[in-house]
Structure 1
Amino acid sequence: MSGTIQGTTGAGGSAAAAGGKAKTGLAGDFNTFLTLLTTQLQNQDPTKAMDTNEMTNQLVSFAGVEQQIAMNANLTRLIGLQQGAQLTAAAPLIGERVEVESDRLSLQDGSATLRLPTAGPVQQAVIRVLDSAGRILREDTVKLGSAAQDWRWDGRTKAGQRLPDGAYGFAVAGLDAQGAAQTVAATVVGTATAARRPSGGDVQLQLGAVSVGFDAMRGIANP
């Protein structure tokens, strides 16, 4: 079983740095505010003294902003820890068959799989595999049954040409008993090959050339 688990400096690191800069900037602004306040008190007209309520409100506002920045920094750290935990949780998935929501079909080792739902109002599914320009590479019509079923593509076009492994678009159209168009959902089944946390992004699970968010997982697929 081969695969990779990678983590890079992500949103947590960059946001934490930003939070630190913001906190430092706030401290500088606060000191400036106190300097201005002291100067104003020293030079104010005794007959027009500063409103103590206004001064208190300004101090409270600065304290509230400081607390908010500290809270944001703590939330950023929590998000970073959660994403790290997701990477750890993804480790046992590498090399396993998983079911995900995606608009791309992963052709791996000359095979790709879609999982179709049970029959209901939709009796048939018309499956089209598309290239990057939206041209139809392969089209099949599948009759839906009493249980979910897998449709497997052998990586060949309708003319029999074998295509290289990679990510391919697909579209699934449902038909009812009268042949009228209906909406039907299908999920992608593939082998998890890597999990990564790109810089400034969320954890991504890779199925060959297809990359999906970790939250797109819908289950561990049967062999």
Structure 2
Amino acid sequence: MTTSVSSDLYSSLGLTAQASTTTKKNDTLDQADFLKLMTTQLQHQDPLKPMDNSQMVAQMAQLSTVQGISDLNTTVESFQTAMANDQILKGAGLVGHEVLVPSTKLALETEGGASGTVAAPSGGQVTVDITDANGVKVKSVNVTADAAGEVSFDWDGTDADGKRMPAGSYSITASHTDTSGATTSLSTYVQAAVESVTVGTDGLYLNLKGLGSAPLDYVLRVS
């Protein structure tokens, strides 16, 4: 039994099925059309008021402009195709690796823990609160920031009582308390494994294990 694949499947994935025969309708004049119009104009001009040299030069300049725009469009289309192919290759090369991306979620597996990073504005104390799907805080991870810069944090996957938490997605928030006691909210970045890539109409997306998808340009680090 054979199964036919509808072109709607390609559309739903943001892709375009390749047709065996492509028919393109020209809605603009090309160089041949322009020359034909000029020849016809010369044949039907008023003998008592022939086209002067300035008019001829102006129309020839227009012809050159039309041809230049056509060549430029072809070059841009080729460049866009090359860029798209290069992006796909880069995305495919990330499969199986871990990437650092901005996220307010942590993915916990049945074994092991989860990790992430924040950017401390100065020395002080960084606190990362972890909450479950019901919004209940299960644990706070405290890390000392010696100075301004990147501060990594690790969660071993247990709650405040040392009990192993079930696998799943957990929300995280981070704050920084400086030496004067002032508190600042921080953005969070997490490590996630790349399972696959998806080509969308607006670019390439990485499918991250336990976190969903993220645009390729969200990646800050690959490990």
TM-score band by shorter chain is 0.5 to 0.7
Q: Secondary structure at the match of 2:220?
A: strand
TM-score w.r.t. length of structure 1: 0.67
Residue 157 and residue 60 in structure 1: after superposition, are their counterparts in 2 closer, same or farther (change >3 A)? farther
User: Hey, which of these two has a bigger chunk of helix by percent?
Assistant: 1
Number of residue pairs matched by the alignment: 198
Q: What residue in structure 2 maps to residue 175 of structure 1? A: 177
Aligned-residue sequence identity (percent) comes to 15
1:188 maps to amino acid: V
- Tell me the CA shift for residue 123 of structure 1: 1.1
Structure whose CA Rg is larger: 2
Q: Distance in 2 between matches of 1:169 and 1:37?
A: 69
Determine whether 1:43 maps to 2:44.
yes
**1:202 partnered with 2:206:** no
TM-score, normalising length from structure 2?
A: 0.67
Shift of 1:220: 4.4
Q: Distance in 1 between matches of 2:181 and 2:23?
A: 62
* Equivalent in the alignment of 2:76: 72
Instruction: Go from structure 1 to structure 2 and tell me whether the alpha carbon gap of 1:57 and 1:171 turns closer, same or farther (over 3 Å shift).
Output: farther
Tell me: higher relative CO, structure 1 or 2? Use CA pairs within 8 A at least 6 residues apart.
1
Unaligned segments of structure 2, at least 5 residues:
1-9
Q: Which residue of 2 aligns with 1:218?
A: 220
Q: Distance in 1 between matches of 2:126 and 2:23?
A: 55
CA contact (8 A) 1:203 1:214 kept: yes
Distance 1:34 1:174, change over 3 A: same
Q: How far, CA to CA, are the matches of 1:56 and 1:73 in structure 2?
A: 26
Q: How far 1:71 moved relative to its partner?
A: 0.8
In the other structure, the counterpart of 2:4 is none
Match of 1:58 in 2: 62
CA contact (8 A) 1:175 1:182 kept: yes
2:168 to 165, 168, 172: 165
Root-mean-square deviation (CA, aligned residues, Å) is 4.0
2:197–2:204 contact (8 Å) kept in structure 1: yes
Rounded to whole Å, the distance in 2 between the matches of 1:170 and 1:200 is 31
Q: Are the equivalent residues in 2 in contact too, given 1:105–1:112 (CA < 8 A)?
A: no
Q: What is the Cα deviation at residue 75 of structure 1?
A: 0.3
- Partner AA of 1:216 in structure 2: Y
Letter in 1 for 2:70: E
Shift in Å, 1:48: 4.5
8 Å Cα contact 1:205-1:214 kept in structure 2: yes
Give 1:102's aligned residue.
102
How far residue 124 of structure 1 moved from its aligned partner, in angstroms, is 1.6
Alpha-carbon shift at residue 122 of structure 1 (Å): 3.9
Q: Is the 8 A contact 2:131 2:171 kept in 1?
A: yes
Q: Which secondary structure does the structure 2 equivalent of 1:106 belong to? A: strand
Who is 2:143 aligned against? Answer: 143
Instruction: Point out where structure 1 has 5 or more consecutive residues left out of the alignment.
Output: 1-7
Q: Which amino acid aligns with 2:35?
A: L
Whole-angstrom CA distance in 2 between matches of 1:100 and 1:198? 20
